[in-house]
């Protein structure tokens, strides 16, 4: 169908949602607005769905959610006997509506649904899939995106986000469906009464909390430490779980940012509810000036990421995801070594864009580092491979630079709840030693060297933006630079072709990872640039690495590298 034919079809059939009908009426005669909503389908990839909430095939709404879920239902029914699916949702606009819509489709396809009674974090969805032995899982969230977005993460039976192969199989099913005529759905309340939909039992929630607490390394330390916390859930799902766990480990002095305490999908106090961005933490930082805590914690709306700020003189300093992850790895390794709980042949897993200081820390403690593609599902996959051999206890920690961390194998996605617990425990440990978090970071850099990493996202909205992103990646792939910011490119890795090329010798070697649209430029002086298009947002992301003797020198190098590469991208 043409875009105008699709638009007319939606006027005729998308009648169950008054908001959608109002939007469709408002854009009548606006060809650009119609085209933007109907020029393509909202793509189902390994991250599921994600898009702006609204009317059209390229928007998040009950019809795109139903169609995707029908495709998932067809896949699950063809793959599993007596299939079941777990569902959770966050605080975003229409998250509860989309979760119910998905449940209604699954129920109509005779698939048992377990859905949480109230909003719950992403890691608790992963946990439910595993605890209830489900065939798949759905988490309705757009993570840390602005309020206008929502999304839908699909999980496999292992509790990981779906593999590329499974996502492709679901996509094939989705593509064969007509939006309005091929999708089954039932009434939620009737399905609940019949028992085809069930609420997730309290035992699953209790089991999750129990398994989080098992990751504690110094369970009696926090209560005695006098640690004081300011916490913001950024109007998301973390409020109850994080506060529950902190209370369980003895941290009672927790002040919650009042404007960001309760669920609110409009995110009126932080347009980007992302703990990576200082603006999202502004209210928390203002409260810190009054409360004077040892630590500011901030979790994103679906509570799979956590950011921190710590006292630094009269101000509070934000730590990067790389710094927190590296400090946690050092803390876990040192404490498990000291207590004799380090497993044989321990494993740490990190993504290719995550700090290389991990390699130095791991070497010091005899830990093997496994590098994977960007996306926490690849970290979860490695835990699964260990589990198949009965060796999941070898996994001690995994993280990615974008504020995602996981200790323990009880879930297969990043978990801000366990990360919040371990961060507080780490801060309490250093506090009892008379060491601030700032000083702990200094000691780490003194021991292993200064590594500075940063990320720059280049946004390209709409259809024209999609074309521009493709052009940029193609040009860098086919005409890759030989120097960036005056530094020679000594190695070029193309993860799409799985070829690594040594530019000094001209020799090539294979990259033994799944194919992915990622390019990496290794530069002189241990500098690095990695670039990839986001799989869920209209962005190209560049990741920079520099090393130096001091933070000041490294910061100067990083800014210079970013400026030079940005000019190349935007030329």
Query: Which amino acids are annotated catalytic?
Result: 143
Whether 64 and 54 have beta carbons less than 8 Å apart is answered as no
List of residues 6+ apart from 399 with CB closer than 8 A: 321, 325, 328, 329, 350, 354, 379, 405, 406, 414
If phi > 0 it is left, if psi is from -120 to 50 it is alpha, else beta; for residue 494 that is: beta
Determine which helix (DSSP H) or strand (DSSP E) holds 181, and give its type and residue range. none
Whether 246 and 229 have beta carbons less than 8 Å apart is answered as yes
Alpha carbon of 394 to those of 382, 387, 398: distances in Å? 11, 9, 12
Q: Of 386, 368, 384, which Cα lies nearest the Cα of 376?
A: 384
Count CA atoms closer than 13 A to 211's CA, side-chain side. Answer: 21
Bridge partners (DSSP) of residue 397 are 348
User: How many C-beta atoms surround the C-beta of residue 353 within 10 A?
Assistant: 25
CA distance linking residue 222 with residue 427, whole number of Å: 9
Bridge partners (DSSP) of residue 546 are 452
The dihedral through the CA atoms of 268, 271, 276, 277 has a sign that is negative
R_g of the chain, CA atoms, integer Å: 24
Interhelix angle 416-432/437-448, nearest 10 degrees = 90
Polymer length of the chain? 571
Whether 408 and 214 have beta carbons less than 8 Å apart is answered as yes
Q: Of 73, 91, 106, which Cα lies nearest the Cα of 142?
A: 91
Q: Of 547, 515, 524, 534, which Cα lies nearest the Cα of 356?
A: 547
Whether 119 and 88 have beta carbons less than 8 Å apart is answered as yes
Whether 113 and 147 have beta carbons less than 8 Å apart is answered as no
Determine which helix (DSSP H) or strand (DSSP E) holds 537, and give its type and residue range. none
Whether 135 and 85 have beta carbons less than 8 Å apart is answered as yes
User: How many C-beta atoms surround the C-beta of residue 367 within 10 A?
Assistant: 24
Q: Of 93, 3, 48, which Cα lies nearest the Cα of 377?
A: 48
Q: How many helices (H) and strands (E) does the chain have?
A: 19, 23
Bridge partners (DSSP) of residue 493 are 500, 520
User: By three-state DSSP, how is residue 176 classified?
Assistant: coil
């Amino acid at each position: 169908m043409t875009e105008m034919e699709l638009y007319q079809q939606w006027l005729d059939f998308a009648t169950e949602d008054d908001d959608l009908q109002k939007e469709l009426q408002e854009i009548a005669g606006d060809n650009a607005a119609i085209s933007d909503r109907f020029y393509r389908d909202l793509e189902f990839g390994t991250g599921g769905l994600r898009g702006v909430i609204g009317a059209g095939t390229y928007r998040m709404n009950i019809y795109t959610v139903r169609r995707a879920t029908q495709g998932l239902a067809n896949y699950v029914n063809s793959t599993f006997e007596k299939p079941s699916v777990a569902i959770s949702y966050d605080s975003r606009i229409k998250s509860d509506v989309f979760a119910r819509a998905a449940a209604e489709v699954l129920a109509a396809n005779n698939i048992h649904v377990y859905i949480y009674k109230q909003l719950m974090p992403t890691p608790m969805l992963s946990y439910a899939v595993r605890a209830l032995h489900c065939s798949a899982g759905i988490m309705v969230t757009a993570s840390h995106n602005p309020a206008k977005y929502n999304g839908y993460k699909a999980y496999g039976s292992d509790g990981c986000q779906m593999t590329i192969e499974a996502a492709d199989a679901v996509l094939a099913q989705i593509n064969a469906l007509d939006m309005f005529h091929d999708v089954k759905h039932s009434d939620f309340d009737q399905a609940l009464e019949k028992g085809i939909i069930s609420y997730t039992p309290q035992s699953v929630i209790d089991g999750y909390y129990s398994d989080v607490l098992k990751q504690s390394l110094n369970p009696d330390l926090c209560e005695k430490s006098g640690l004081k916390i300011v916490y913001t859930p950024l109007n998301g799902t973390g409020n109850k779980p994080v506060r529950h766990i902190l209370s369980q480990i003895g941290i009672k002095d927790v002040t919650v940012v009042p404007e960001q305490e309760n669920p609110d999908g409009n995110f009126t106090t932080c347009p980007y509810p992302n703990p990576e961005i200082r603006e999202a933490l502004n209210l928390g930082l203002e409260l810190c000036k009054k409360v004077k805590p040892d630590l500011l914690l901030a979790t994103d709306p679906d509570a799979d990421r956590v950011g921190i700020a710590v006292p630094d003189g009269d101000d509070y300093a934000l730590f990067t995801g790389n710094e927190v992850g590296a400090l946690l790895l050092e803390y876990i390794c040192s404490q498990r070594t000291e207590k004799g709980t380090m497993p044989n042949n321990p494993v740490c897993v990190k993504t290719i864009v995550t700090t290389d200081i991990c390699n130095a820390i791991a070497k010091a403690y005899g830990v093997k580092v496994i590098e994977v593609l960007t996306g926490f599902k690849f970290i979860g996959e490695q835990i699964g491979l260990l589990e198949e051999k009965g060796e999941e206890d070898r996994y001690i920690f995994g993280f990615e630079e974008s504020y995602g961390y996981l200790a323990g194998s009880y879930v297969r996605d990043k978990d801000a709840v366990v990360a919040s617990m371990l961060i507080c425990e780490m801060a309490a440990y250093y506090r009892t030693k008379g060491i601030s978090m700032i000083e702990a970071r200094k000691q780490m850099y003194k021991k292993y060297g200064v590594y500075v990493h940063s990320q720059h996202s280049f946004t390209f909205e709409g259809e024209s933006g999609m074309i521009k992103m493709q052009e940029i990646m193609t040009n860098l792939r086919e005409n890759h630079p030989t120097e960036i910011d005056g530094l020679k490119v000594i190695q070029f890795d193309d993860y799409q072709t799985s070829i690594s090329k040594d530019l000094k010798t001209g020799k090539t070697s294979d990259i033994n990872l799944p194919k992915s649209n990622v390019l990496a430029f290794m530069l002189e002086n241990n500098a690095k640039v990695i670039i990839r298009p986001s799989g869920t947002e209209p962005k190209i992301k560049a990741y920079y690495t520099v090393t130096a003797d001091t933070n000041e020198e490294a910061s100067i190098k990083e800014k210079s590298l970013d400026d030079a590469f940005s000019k190349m991208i935007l030329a």
